Amino acid sequence: MPQPGDSVSRSAVDILIASDRVPANARPDLLTEDDIWALLEEVKDPEVPAVSVVELGIVRALRWDGNELSVDVTPTYSGCPATELIEELITEALRAVGFRNPKINRVLTPAWTTDWITAEGKDKLRAFGIAPPEGSSSKMSLLGEPEIIACPLCGSEDTERVSEFGSTACKALYRCKECLEPFDYFKCI
């Protein structure tokens, strides 16, 4: 859990601060769709601050109604406690560049899957010390053997699951038998 003042959550803090002084001459109508996506790339997941909400695949679409912008956001888990905070951070990021009343549509279908995490997002997870989801969610078997999960620290495949759940609902807890370090695995759903 990031603490206030952690460098990892700095960008979110900057956005919040920046939102208090929106330049009067901000022209959101001049921003392209690519500009908005680039802006949302700066909004990090508060519980996995290594990756952005775009890389996690939880921002699904941007919609315009005239000059009004709304963003489709899908939660990772039904009870993800970060859902509201993520929605607020996205709203604040958009306000900071001049959108007066950005809207969030919370969409449940199609249900979020770890298949939507971008390749770049998976690399960043690994670099952050979290093993990214292995394989495709469609192949997840109900009572089958767990996949081989490589240690994000030393790369060894000699690992074992300690707990089906880790520090958050989206992670499981593993241990590397080679380097002996515990690590989080971003579960494949």
Partner 1 sequence: MTQTEALREYLLRLADSDMILGQRLCELCGKAPALEEEMAVMNVALDLIGQARNWYEYAAELIDDGRDADKLAFLRDAHDYRNLLLTEQPNEDYAVTMGRQFFFDVWHYFTLTSLTESSDERIAGIASKAVKEATYHLRRSSEWVKRLGDGTEESHQRMQDAVDILWRFTGELITPDDTDRVLAEAGIGPEPDQLAQDWRGMANEVLTQATLTPGAEDAWMYMGGKHGEHTEHLGFILAEMQFLQRAYPDATTW
Residue 137 binds partner 1 (CB under 8 A): yes
Residue type, 110: P
DSSP symbol at 182: E
Q: Which is nearer to partner 1, 96 or 176 (CB)?
A: 176
Of 23-31, 45-53, 103-111, 151-159: span binding partner 1 (CB under 8 A): 103-111
- 75/111 Cα distance (integer angstroms): 8
Tell me if 48 contacts partner 1 by CB under 8 A. Answer: no
Contact stretch for partner 1 (CB under 8 A) within 15-23, 28-36, 94-102, 166-174: 166-174
| Under rule CB under 8 A, residue 165 binds partner 1 | yes
Antiparallel, parallel or unpaired: β 68-73 and 103-106: parallel
Contact with partner 1 (CB under 8 A) among 88, 162, 179, 181: 162
Which residues lie across from 175 on neighbouring strands?
160, 182
Output the six-digit token pair for 39.
């802006």
Alpha-carbon distance 93 to 12, whole Å?
8
Q: Is 179 in the site for partner 1 (CB under 8 A)?
A: no
Q: Is the distance from CB of 38 to CB of 67 less than 8 angstroms?
A: no
Taking CB under 8 A as the rule, does residue 166 contact partner 1? yes
Q: Is the dihedral of CA 148, 167, 183, 86 positive or negative?
A: positive
Among 20, 79, 119, 138, binds partner 1 (CB under 8 A): 79
**Shorter beta-carbon distance to partner 1: residue 23 or 135:** 135
Chain residues that interact with partner 1, rule: CB under 8 A: 75, 77-81, 108-113, 137, 140, 142-143, 162-169, 173, 187, 189
